[in-house]
Structure 1
Amino acid sequence: MVRTFVLMAAMTAFVGFIGLLLGGETGLIIALVIAFAMNFFSYWNSDKAVLRMHGARPVDARAAPELWKMTEDMAHRAGLPMPALYIIETEQPNAFATGRNPQNAAVAVTRGLMQNMSHEEVAGVVAHELAHIKNRDTLTMTITATLAGAVSMLANFAMFFGGGRDRPMGLVGTIAMMILAPLAAGMVQMAISRVREYEADAEGAAICGNPEWLASALAGLGRLSGRIDNIAAERNPATAHMFIVNPLHMHAVDSLFATHPPIDKRIAKLRALGGTRPQRAPAGPTNRGPWG
């Protein structure tokens, strides 16, 4: 949590710094106003917007009784209120959590997750998402994504800031900053995402009661997600960091630009928690009728 706070503080300071460099005092004020406005909007509306982007459909205890009961039991164990449940009609196995606080949280799982994972593996994935809610990562991720977006917006508007006397940088420096600022902001955002994934894995293992359930699920997700398209995620790549594994098909991308830690390292950490040896993930049934 301390590392995350430091990174978020650095991101906030970075937004103001970019504004100052690009437009002097005027740029600083504009940068802070943009960051505040975007964060205010995201705080109240980001969860609904993300769910709409992915065509998530709300379900209740009648529509998905087994998933509902599993989530309810683990939420109680974690000391959380029951989150809203959603299903995304895509064949790619994946899941994410959203919401500004535990009282206004939602967990969305894909149809592919329920069709390709065992009951225990789905429990491990849901526990991971509940851990994000418990740690308030859903708000943290939203704020950092919004601040990164603010930097990109400032870079796009850089040439419209005040004249040369008010701008501490020359034309060449301004153009360089337009290119480098969004890149640096994105790297900080990704660093925060990777830190929070490790923490959610550990907390999720405690919530479900068996680190191997989540480790097995991650092995299956890593094997399947890269082979199955998630059209909504491809159209909205800014939401990729919210999923338990990267929903995008990225090839040979340097780890510096990855939104998630390597799956093999996450599995190793989980199995170290449980003191278990690596073993092949049990294959889930191709169709889980009881899921609904």
Structure 2
Amino acid sequence: MGNLRTFILMAAMTALFMGVGALIGGTTGAVIALAVAGAMNLFAFWNSDKAVLSMTGAREVDARTAPDLVAMVHDLADRAQMPRPKVFIIETDQPNAFATGRNPENAAVAATTGLLRSLSREEIAGVMAHELAHIRHRDTLTMTITATMAGAISMLANFGMFFGGSDRDRPGGLIGTLALMILAPLAAGMVQMAISRSREYEADRLGAEISGNPGALASALQKIEALARQRINPAAERNPAVAHMFIINPLNGRGADNLFSTHPSTANRVAALMRMQPAAPAAARTGIPRVTRHRGPWA
């Protein structure tokens, strides 16, 4: 159901993009808009992971520089029967994490130093499993493309004010163009946010299955949200376009399931995870090691 909803929402985004082009330049405008979208998405397909990692200041770590974290991610990836992603760490006190990459073979997960210091190992494993679920579902590519198209729609709407021909050629004249400038980016943003929210629920579900501990992931979400209200993530504040990629909104702690939220309500996510708890196998029965808080440095 989640994949079907994402497909429908992305189709709506594509139609909206072409519609904006058509309103600005008729059939030619629609064709040009589609060509521009294709070029932007092609660039995003190949470079999205590098761009996001650079914007957040993430540094790559390995088995020598962060042995515990890398071993945990590799173990979870092996249990999920997927390629092992690269592992990155972001220097910030705010606990958070995200995944990026165009496909499971070219993916990366990133965790903040605040996450590694504030959560137990079981909670960190739940967060990392959530991010691996995003990779397995190819959500990272979906979210990059929708973000690119949302930005392109906003750009086209602004261009329409200046390059859309005479008022006589514009549907609705000047008033119609002004409405287009306001409503088109708003609609694109709403589609982008809806896709993000739907994918978070799916990643929670699969992440809980990978880690074998829905309760640990639920506890991690609650801790991250509480601390995100108190601690600033400077990289995310400078680049708010990446906010939807984090497991919890890094810009603020207000998560409401409404049209203008990039993340679902944490309370709703926790409730869904706790409903999985009775049916989920215990960590010891799935082979996920039950570990205590690590006393040494993570990185």
What TM-score do you get using the length of structure 2 for normalisation? 0.91
What is the aligned partner in structure 2 of residue 59 from structure 1? 61
Using the TM superposition, give the Cα deviation of residue 26 of structure 1 relative to its aligned residue in structure 2, in angstroms: 2.5
Q: Secondary structure at the match of 1:258?
A: coil
Matches within 5 A, 1:154-173: 154-159=156-161, 160-164=163-167, 166-173=169-176
Seen in structure 2, the aligned counterparts of structure 1 residues 97 and 288 have a Cα distance that, compared at 3 Å, is: farther
Which is bigger in relative contact order (C-alpha 8 A, separation at least 6)? 1
CA distance in 1, matches of 2:255, 2:139: 28
What is the aligned partner in structure 2 of residue 13 from structure 1? 15
CA distance in 2, matches of 1:108, 1:173: 44
Does the CA contact (< 8 Å) of 2:171 and 2:177 recur in 1?
A: no
What is the aligned partner in structure 2 of residue 281 from structure 1? none
Question: Is it true that 1:289 corresponds to 2:296 in the alignment?
Answer: yes
Letter in 1 for 2:251: L
What is the aligned partner in structure 1 of residue 123 from structure 2? 121
Single out whichever of 196-205 and 2-11 deviates more from structure 2. 2-11
What is the aligned partner in structure 2 of residue 216 from structure 1? 219
Using the TM superposition, give the Cα deviation of residue 162 of structure 1 relative to its aligned residue in structure 2, in angstroms: 3.2
Question: Is it true that 1:200 corresponds to 2:203 in the alignment?
Answer: yes
Q: Secondary structure at the match of 1:106?
A: strand
Using the TM superposition, give the Cα deviation of residue 275 of structure 1 relative to its aligned residue in structure 2, in angstroms: 2.7
What is the aligned partner in structure 2 of residue 234 from structure 1? 237
Using the TM superposition, give the Cα deviation of residue 19 of structure 1 relative to its aligned residue in structure 2, in angstroms: 1.1
What is the aligned partner in structure 1 of residue 96 from structure 2? 94
What is the aligned partner in structure 2 of residue 279 from structure 1? none
Aligned residues: 284
- Alignment gaps of 5+ in structure 1: 277-283
Using the TM superposition, give the Cα deviation of residue 161 of structure 1 relative to its aligned residue in structure 2, in angstroms: 2.3
CA distance in 1, matches of 2:277, 2:255: 31
CA distance in 2, matches of 1:262, 1:177: 30
User: For 2:184, which of 181, 186, 190 is the aligned residue?
Assistant: 181
Using the TM superposition, give the Cα deviation of residue 122 of structure 1 relative to its aligned residue in structure 2, in angstroms: 0.3
Q: Secondary structure at the match of 2:182?
A: helix
Equivalent pairs: percent with the same residue?
A: 64
Q: Secondary structure at the match of 1:98?
A: strand
User: For 2:271, which of 268, 271, 274 is the aligned residue?
Assistant: 268
Seen in structure 2, the aligned counterparts of structure 1 residues 34 and 218 have a Cα distance that, compared at 3 Å, is: same
Question: Is it true that 1:139 corresponds to 2:141 in the alignment?
Answer: yes
Q: Over residues 18-38 of structure 1, what are the superposed CA-to-partner deviations in whole Å (9 max), with x where a residue is unaligned? A: 111122123212211221111
